[in-house]
Amino acid sequence: MKVNRAKVGGIILMFSFYLLAYGVGFLVTYLTLRSAPLIIQLLIFDVVATLVIWLASLFLKNSSVYDPYWSVTPMIFIIYLIVINFPTLNIYHYILAAAFLSWSLRLTVNWMTTFEDRHWEDWRYQMFRNNNTAWMWHIINFFGIQMMPTLLVFGAFIPFIFIFQTTATAWTLIASAIIFSGFLLQLFSDFHIHKFLRETKEKKVCEVGLWNYSRHPNYLGELLIWIGAFVGLMLLDTTFYYLGIGMVLMILLFEFISIPMMEKRQLKRREDYAVYRKTTSRLIPLPKRECKNEEAVEATAE
């Protein structure tokens, strides 16, 4: 089997930057915040590591250096929570961790599978760069592409910090089931879309498997991860209801930014997407809606 040296070299380079980012984050946190609350330590670690990844993206002139951060950093956090709380954890903590790590590892492997080389960059980042002035692009790159997602994921992750510092119960299995369902949704939706793209050369919409019932099953899977985290916390202590803000912001991100942006792109690239949008549920997998001839014509004309 021929080895893609550009891909392997790019992945090694990316993870070298990540090791550097986490090393700097740990060093800064250890030297300055050892007595601070755990949530503050993790937040500062997260921000410092993101700054290093941002600098790496400037060095490589490629903002997709940040792409693995979304799944790798939460994995590091979960493992860290297990290590520092090890003597007090029970089986329900480990089941929850296993469900979450299934998602995190799968998403990271998916990134590694689709990664081409260190020059490949997400189309959205290219669009922002091409449609803005240099200064505006740097602002978008730092705040919108890197720091904002870091803070959003951290906010949605906070319930795990509290769950691993308290006694989990059988009720926590509900949260684990929600998270594992999100993992399965993403697993099967990505499998179907990748298989479809490999086998279909035409610019058509994928309506295979979950994509026949939802336009964005992979996004739904992602949201279930963070919904599960908040549900898990609420099942243990409802006084922390205000920590649901991270989950809410994550839902708003997908609802008003990620989904509209993706659909606008698909409408331009695939002629049958307008009809697909009329007949197929936005997020929740549901049976197809009927589309009358006049509606199909209207959708195509839009």
168 domain-assigned: yes
pLDDT digits (tens, 9 = 90+) for 136-166: 999 999 999 999 999 999 999 999 999 999 9
pLDDT digits (tens, 9 = 90+) for 248-293: 999 999 999 999 999 999 999 998 999 999 999 999 999 999 876 5
114 domain-assigned: yes
**How confident is residue 203, by pLDDT bands cut at 50, 70 and 90?**
confident
117 domain-assigned: yes
Domain count, the chain: 1
What 3-state DSSP class applies to 297?
Answer: helix
What 3-state DSSP class applies to 281?
Answer: strand
301 domain-assigned: no
268 domain-assigned: no
Q: What angle do CA 23, 35, 101 make, to 5 degrees?
A: 50
195 domain-assigned: yes
On the question of pLDDT at 85 being above 80, the answer is: yes
Predicted local distance difference test score (pLDDT) of residue 1: 59
How confident is the model over 180-195, as a mean pLDDT?
Answer: 95
Comparing CA positions, the residue from 73, 66, 243, 269 lying closest to residue 165 is 243
Predicted local distance difference test score (pLDDT) of residue 297: 41
When comparing pLDDT for 10 and 2, which is higher? 10
280 domain-assigned: no
Cα→Cα distances 28→41, 121, 137, 238, Å:
10, 30, 28, 34
Predicted local distance difference test score (pLDDT) of residue 292: 60
Q: What does the mean pLDDT of the chain come to?
A: 93
282 domain-assigned: no
Residue range of the domain that includes 44? 5-250
Q: What angle do CA 101, 104, 106 make, to 5 degrees?
A: 105
Predicted local distance difference test score (pLDDT) of residue 201: 80
**How confident is residue 213, by pLDDT bands cut at 50, 70 and 90?**
very high
